[in-house]
Amino acid sequence: MSGTSLNTSDTEINLGSIIAIRGSVIDVCFDKKLPRIHSILTVDLSALGETDIDKVVIEVLEQRNAKQVRCIALTPTQGLARGMQVEDSGKPLLAPVGKAILSRMFDVFGKPIDTEGSVDDVEWRSVHRAPPPLKERSTQSTIFITGIKVIDVLVPLEKGGKAGLFGGAGVGKTVLLTEMIHNMVGKHKGVSIFCGIGERCREGEELYREMKEAGVLPNMVMVFGQMNEPPGSRFRVGQAALTMAEYFRDDEHRDVLLLIDNIFRFIQAGSEVSGLMGQMPSRLGYQPTMGTELAGLEERIANTNNGAITSIQAVYVPADDFTDPAAVHTFSHLSASIVLSRQRASEGLFPAIDPLQSNSKMASPGIVGEEHYQLAQKVRSTLAQYAELKDIIAMLGLEQLSPEDRLVVGRARRLERFLTQPFFTTEQFTGHKGKLVSLADSLDGCQRILNDEFKDYPESALYMIGKIDEAKQKQSPSSEKVKEEHVDESSENAS
pLDDT in tens, the chain (495 residues): 444 333 434 467 999 999 999 989 999 999 999 999 999 999 999 877 666 778 999 999 999 999 999 999 999 998 899 999 999 999 999 999 999 999 999 999 999 998 888 998 999 999 999 999 999 988 888 898 999 999 999 999 998 899 999 887 788 887 888 888 888 776 667 889 999 999 888 888 888 887 887 777 888 999 999 999 999 999 999 999 999 999 999 999 998 999 998 899 999 999 999 999 989 999 889 999 999 999 999 999 988 988 899 999 988 888 888 899 999 999 899 999 999 999 999 999 999 999 999 999 999 999 999 999 999 999 999 999 999 999 899 998 888 899 999 999 999 999 999 999 999 888 878 888 999 999 999 999 999 999 999 999 999 999 999 999 999 887 765 544 444 444 454 444 444
| Distance of alpha carbon 130 from the chain centroid | 21
| Distance of alpha carbon 35 from the chain centroid | 34
Q: What is the DSSP letter of 130?
A: P
Q: Is the dihedral of CA 175, 178, 180, 182 positive or negative?
A: negative
Global pTM reads: 0.84
Q: Is the dihedral of CA 13, 18, 19, 20 positive or negative?
A: positive
Cβ partners under 8 Å of residue 296, min gap 6:
none
Q: Give the pLDDT score at 188.
A: 64
Q: Give the pLDDT score at 50.
A: 64
Q: Give the pLDDT score at 317.
A: 86
Rounded alpha-carbon distances, angstroms, from residue 84 to 22, 28, 161, 230: 15, 9, 47, 20
Neighbours of 448 (CB within 10 A): 16
User: Coil, helix or strand for 449?
Assistant: helix
User: Within the chain, what is the greatest distance between any pair of CA atoms?
Assistant: 91
Q: Give the pLDDT score at 7.
A: 41
Rounded alpha-carbon distances, angstroms, from residue 197 to 224, 315, 338, 447: 6, 11, 20, 40
Per-residue b or e along 246-260, where b marks 16 or more CB atoms closer than 10 Å to that residue's CB: bbbbbeeebbbbbbb
Cβ 256 vs Cβ 191: under 8 Å: yes
Strands 68-73 and 55-63: antiparallel
Q: Give the pLDDT score at 405.
A: 94
Q: State the DSSP H helix or E strand holding residue 367, giving kind and residue range, or none if neither.
A: helix 365-368
Name the residues annotated as catalytic: 173, 199-200
